[in-house]
Chain A
Amino acid sequence: MTLSPERLSGTAPGRAAQTADRPRTVRRGGARRRAAGAALVFLAPTLLIFGYFAWWPIAQSAVLAFQQTNLVDPAEWVGWRNFEVLFADPLLPRAALNTLWFTALSLAIGLPVPLLCAVLMSELRRGGTLARILAYLPVVIPPVVSVLLWKVFFSPGETGVVNSLLAAIGLGPLPWLQSPELAMPSLVIVATWSGAGTAILIYLAALTGVSTELYEAAELDGASVWQRILHITLPQMRGVILVLLLLQIIGAIQVFTEPYVMTDGGPANATVTVLLMIYRYAFLFGNYGVATALSLLLAIVLVIVSAIYLRLTRSWSTR
């Protein structure tokens, strides 16, 4: 079939006049039903895939937490027993605290550093593209690769890469992943290294959206560069910063790859995180009920965190 070019352009002479006396929103009932049917054909793949792999698992998560299944017999209802098993596990408070510690450390580095880098990068007159590529390269590398690479960097003793760097400035070899105190900060370094690039690019995109007229006006009023950053740039960026902060918190609470591949929860359970526990309950002990119960607790925590966060930020942003 052919489509005439003037029809396609939509601006053929006389069309505007035609449409004036024929309201275009009116569709005959049959056409409307046909549209609903056609849309269903186009939505079929989405409905099937979301139904099976998004909506059904979400609904099931609430059910499985109260069931016990061995994958062979039909699942049986066990009520709150999964949660009782969970709260009797001495590792749970440990994992919760570890996850909290990881999140706090991640924010301490992962919030200010990308913001500072983005502000500096936005003022580059040359080399902006190169800076963006360099900042984002660690993000491109598959997380498993960065974790295994940093595992080599952190190797203890005097021949490890990080320890050799420290030796160059006169600090003595540290037992990074072998020490219960240093293992978690090591994981934070790796996670931040592989995640900071995304934050930098998002901040950069937001920085280019700040209107230059505001800077002009501030400059005419005699505001110094630091005053402009404090009173214009940061307030204008507030929305993006707050959203990213929430996403970083939510992401950090779900940390898995770093502790699983780098330390497997060790040493002495210093890096066992909530998600690692979920994984172990399900795929090491085959206890899917308890694993789902813990997932449900995690979901509730995430909802509470988001709700508190939104409540707080709303009161900040309505000044």
Chain B
Amino acid sequence: MTITTSPRRRLRRTAAPRDRGILSSFDWRRPRILIGWRAMHIVLFVGLVALGAIPLVWMLRAAISTTTDLVQNPLSLMPDPARWENITTAWTLLDIGHYLGNTIVLVGGSWVVQLVVSATAGFALAVIRPWYGRFVYGAILLTLFVPGTVTLIALYLTVLDLPLIGIGLTDTPWAVWLPAGANAFTILLVKQFFEDIPRDLFEAAQLDGAGWFTIFWRIVLPMSRPILAVVSLLSIMTAWKEFLWPLIVLTDPDTQPLAVALPRLAQATDPAFLISGLLIASIPPILIFVIFQRSIVRGIGFSGLKG
């Protein structure tokens, strides 16, 4: 019953550097293979830069260009003349600060709700393990098989007038925050992580007179930072990309996030200002991704095991 690896260490350990893949070091010394794969890799990188980076560079360039410049040199990646004031003009003209603030409020609340739900549910199902746990877990997993769009209308009517309580949530952030918590996938991730924590720890703590809440707060949460980080990143990135649901439940422009406001603004603005708005909406998720790309990539690797 000794502890060999703590789950935290197991998560942090990335795949050991492989000494070979499909090709061995011997293959890499063969001129035909070397030249062929090098050429393919160059083509791959050209494609990745052309499709992954250039559209974003173009967006930056277009955001600080004049409309005439955009029409005359559509393919140039350098603005001529550079109009940095476009961004500030767009900011005030389109009221971007306000919509960006709404986005941050929506994303922040969704993140907190998902974190609370997945941590408490994971703890109850993986650590306390009550007799009815498997039924609850089954009912949670069931929702993975029902795509959100299928229940869209029923969910909307629920949010419009909560049964038993009779409150309507539309045009309030709660309409986005609470449904974000109904995410079976994050519960599944956290539960699996908690199951890897050696049960001896809990039994020892119980012998010392710790209650479940103490075990949750003092043992499990401090040990589960890696998985909570993955859940946080996934939930923040997802919430930032939301479009259809906020479009439906937030009809009041005062409450709308940038994603919902932009298509409406697109109909009546100068393209250069619109693209400034697009740029501002993209910068936060891009920054988060580039900073935390290792954890995010690992989280996506997990999601490949889904299903």
Contact = CB atoms under 8 A, between A and B. Distances in A.
Contacts of A137: 52-53, 56, 286, 289
A149 B179 contact: no
A2 B204 CA distance: 12
Interface in B170-202: 178-179, 181-182, 184, 187, 198, 200-201
Interface string A232-265: 1100000010011011001000101100010000
Residue among A3, A46, A292 with the most chain B CB within 10 A?
Answer: A46
A39 B24 contact: no
A92 interface: no
A282 interface: yes
Given A45-B117, A149-B275, A219-B24, A19 B41 contact: no
Interface stretch (A83-91, A103-111, A180-188, A295-303): A295-303
B81 interface: no
B33 interface: yes
B23 interface: yes
Contacts of B201: 8, 10
Contact of A142 (B56, B123, B139, B240): B240
A78 interface: no
Contact of B22 (A4, A168, A228): A228
Interface residues of A, number: 116
Given A159-B74, A202-B303, A288-B157, A40 B130 contact: yes
A164 B72 CA distance: 10
B153 A288 contact: yes
B260 to A, nearest CB: 8
A133 B163 contact: no
B133 A39 contact: yes
Interface string A1-37: 1111001111100011001000010000000100110
Contacts, number: 327
Contacts of B219: 3, 8
A272 interface: no
B195 to A, nearest CB: 15
A215 interface: yes
Interface string B239-278: 0110110001000000000111011001000010011001
A304 interface: no
Given A120-B41, A142-B259, A202-B301, A47 B48 contact: no
Given A8-B205, A120-B41, A122-B21, A134 B52 contact: yes
A46 B307 CA distance: 22
B21 A7 contact: no
A7 B205 contact: yes
Nearest to B285: A140
A215 B147 contact: no
Contacts of A140: 237, 282, 285-286, 288-289
Interface in A183-221: 193, 197-198, 201-202, 204-208, 212, 215-216, 219
Residue among A11, A49, A143 with the most chain B CB within 10 A?
Answer: A49
Contact of A42 (B124, B178, B243): B124
A123 interface: yes
A159 B116 CA distance: 50
Interface residues of B, number: 125
Contacts of A233: 22
Given A10-B201, A39-B133, A198-B300, A121 B149 contact: no
Interface stretch (B82-90, B209-217, B224-232): B209-217
B140 interface: yes
Residue among B2, B20, B52, B140 with the most chain A CB within 10 A?
Answer: B52
A61 B153 contact: yes
A222 to B, nearest CB: 12
A52 interface: yes
Interface in A123-148: 123-125, 127, 129, 131-138, 140-145, 148
B274 A148 contact: yes
Interface of A: 1-4, 7-11, 15-16, 19, 24, 32, 35-36, 38-40, 42-47, 49-50, 52-58, 60-61, 64, 69, 71, 117, 119-125, 127, 129, 131-138, 140-145, 148-149, 151-153, 159-161, 164-165, 168, 193, 197-198, 201-202, 204-208, 212, 215-216, 219, 225, 228-229, 232-233, 240, 243-244, 246-247, 250, 254, 256-257, 261, 275, 278-279, 282-283, 288, 291-292, 295-296, 298-299, 302
| Shortest 9 CB-CB contacts between residues of A and residues of B | A10-B200, A205-B301, A134-B52, A202-B304, A39-B130, A42-B124, A57-B154, A7-B204, A60-B154
5 contacts: A50-B140, A53-B178, A55-B143, A160-B74, A278-B149
Given A46-B117, A140-B286, 14 more contacts: A10-B204, A35-B130, A54-B143, A54-B151, A56-B163, A58-B146, A133-B52, A133-B289, A134-B53, A142-B258, A159-B74, A198-B300, A215-B22, A229-B22
